[in-house]
Amino acid sequence: MEKPAFLDRDRPDVPGLVVPGGVTPFYLAGRPVRGRLIRLGILADAMLTRHDNPAQVTALAGKALALVAALASALKFQGSFSLQIKGDGPVSMLVADCTHDGALRFYARTDEDALNTLLTRNPTPTDKELMGNGYLALTVDQGPDMERHQGIVEIAGDDLAAMATHYFAISEQHACWIMLACTMTDAGWRSGALVLERIAGEGGTLDTSPTAPDGTTQADDNWETATILANTLTVGELLDDTLPAPQLLHRLFHEEDLHVSQSRALAFGCRCSRARLVDVLQRFPEDDLDHMCVNNDTIVMTCEFCNKDFHFPRKDIASATS
């Protein structure tokens, strides 16, 4: 059994932040619509500012965190749900993941020279310009005893919301409406999302509503109405710490038989530890360990997710390959 984070003394000193109402699930009764409202609140600033990224990359990472929180909270699983985007742009890799209990982490790998060139030419690049051409993958990993589920599509669309919508249309044949936002506010970085999913019908049943002469159904009309209402949401509303989630959802969907479910927490969720990194180091030959040393006596490893440096005296690390 894995040791709880609060008992693990090998873990780095990272913020123990929890946002109790980070995820607010809801559905529209009698309509083929369910959704999640995501608001990271102070968690966004705490996570994003641990990395020294330009504002444009920080905003992209914040949107990725909100997206994985929204998608993971819709699934029943034990483990982690991850987003990985790999492209040929200045941001060559973006990874964000969320566990079944709402623990979030991310990292972005950038080419500094290519990024500076892009930002000099265009200070407000699209997400696509930052990441270039490549692929987007969503993965559910429930541990070594369970088969991983992964879907992969080409990057398509100018922003991350469009890319995710494309993924569900192609890989899952599933209609979604997605809004993502991340920006610097007076209170620091804030990130959020609103995601609507079209489900088969009320309770997951097949749609048997009458078909109109133009081929549309009542369910089609209900879905269109929900997306039109969702489009009235502003970034200011989505990221407003003082606007309660139920109140915001009521403003959007009060005429659509809105039902708001129990909210769920989000938290800072890096899972690195000294013990895990020692296990990695011990897999290297002694010569490689010697070459890793700084000042001949210390090995330094940095967690890409929480940007924490770990220092290991060389004399304490013995290769298991010897």
The ranges of the chain with pLDDT < 70 are: 1-16, 201-215, 272-273, 296, 302-303, 305, 307, 320, 322
> pLDDT of 218-274, one tens digit each?
899 999 999 999 999 999 999 999 999 999 999 999 999 999 999 999 998 777 667
> pLDDT of 188-233, one tens digit each?
999 999 999 999 854 444 455 566 566 678 899 999 999 999 999 9
Spatial CA neighbour of 111 closest among 130, 126, 124, 125: 130
Q: What are phi and psi of 56, to 5 degrees?
A: -65, -40
Per domain, the residue ranges of the chain are 17-203+223-268, 274-316
Q: In angstroms, rounded to a whole number, what is the distance separating the alpha carbons of residues 157 and 178?
A: 13
CATH of 17-203+223-268, picked from 3.55.30.10, 1.10.10.10, 3.40.50.2300, 2.115.10.20, is: 3.55.30.10
pTM for the model: 0.85
Q: What are phi and psi of 234, to 5 degrees?
A: -100, 160
**Chain centroid offset of residue 236 CA:** 20
What is residue 290's predicted lDDT score, i.e. its pLDDT? 80
Q: In angstroms, rounded to a whole number, what is the distance separating the alpha carbons of residues 306 and 193?
A: 22
What is residue 36's predicted lDDT score, i.e. its pLDDT? 98
> Cα 206–210–213 angle (5° rounding)?
130
